[in-house]
């Protein structure tokens, strides 16, 4: 059966995720309000890049926050990229706000430096191989604890990780033509034990 993946579409780079997921035969639902979360059966959720402070604020203003937190806590598979990773993190070393606080990671925002912070590199992703990685004012994970698995490192900094139903990347897999990270996410939906 065709899968329904919700893509948070209130700010940032959601359109690129949708284009990529549709190439993989998934049906995407743009999430802009609480009823979008309730009216459809969602098999997965994507939290895209953008500005985490803005998205975090909008989540609360649009009354999406509690329902999202509950769904993620209940095991809904989630892919969080860049700002999405910051939103999912239980700690942000250089911010006073914690958002969804769902994952046992501590992140640093704009960790690669503000000016030279956008770059492209090919890096090794666990279980996939070498993939293109586009970083845009990206965070990295400075600490993980308990049941978090490291999926990728660049310059000894963690840039992708997984905890049960949650996958996060510092980089933007949706900006390359390589579909493998999204494919991996769909595999996780199909087999939660992955």
The catalytic residue positions are 82, 172, 174
| Residue (109 or 182) nearer to ligand GLN, CB | 109
| Residue (3 or 17) nearer to ligand GLN, CB | 17
Calpha distance 13→79 (Å, rounded): 13
| Residue (83 or 186) nearer to ligand GLN, CB | 83
Quick one: tokens of 133? Answer: 């990685």
The site that binds ligand GLN (CB under 6 A) totals a number of residues, namely 11
Q: Burial, 94: exposed, middle or buried (Cβ in 10 Å; 0-12, 13-18, 19+)?
A: exposed
Of residues 89 through 148, those in contact with ligand GLN by CB under 6 A are 109-110, 136-137
Shortest distance in whole angstroms from residue 31 CB to ligand GLN: 17
Binding region for ligand GLN (CB under 6 A) out of 22-30, 46-54, 121-129, 147-155: 46-54
Cβ pair 181, 131 in contact under 8 A:
yes
Determine how many CB atoms are found less than 10 A away from the CB of residue 60: 11
């Amino acid at each position: 059966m065709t899968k329904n993946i919700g893509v948070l579409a209130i700010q940032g780079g959601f359109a690129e995720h949708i284009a990529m997921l549709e190439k993989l035969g998934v049906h995407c639902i743009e999430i802009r309000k609480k009823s979008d979360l309730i009216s459809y059966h969602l098999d997965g959720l994507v939290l895209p890049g953008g500005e985490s402070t803005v998205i975090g604020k909008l989540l609360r203003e649009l009354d999406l926050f509690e329902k999202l937190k509950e769904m993620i806590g209940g095991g809904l598979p989630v892919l969080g990229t860049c700002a999405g990773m910051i939103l999912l993190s239980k700690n942000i070393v250089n911010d006073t706000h914690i958002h969804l606080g769902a994952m046992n990671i501590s992140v640093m925002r704009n960790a690669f430096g503000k000016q030279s912070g956008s770059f492209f590199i090919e890096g090794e992703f666990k279980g996939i191989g070498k993939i293109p990685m586009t970083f845009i004012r990206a965070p990295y994970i400075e600490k993980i604890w308990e049941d978090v698995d490291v999926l990728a490192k660049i310059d000894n900094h963690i840039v992708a990780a997984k905890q049960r139903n949650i996958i996060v990347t510092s980089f933007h897999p949706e900006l390359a033509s390589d579909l493998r990270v999204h494919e991996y996410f769909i595999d996780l939906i199909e087999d939660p034990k992955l």
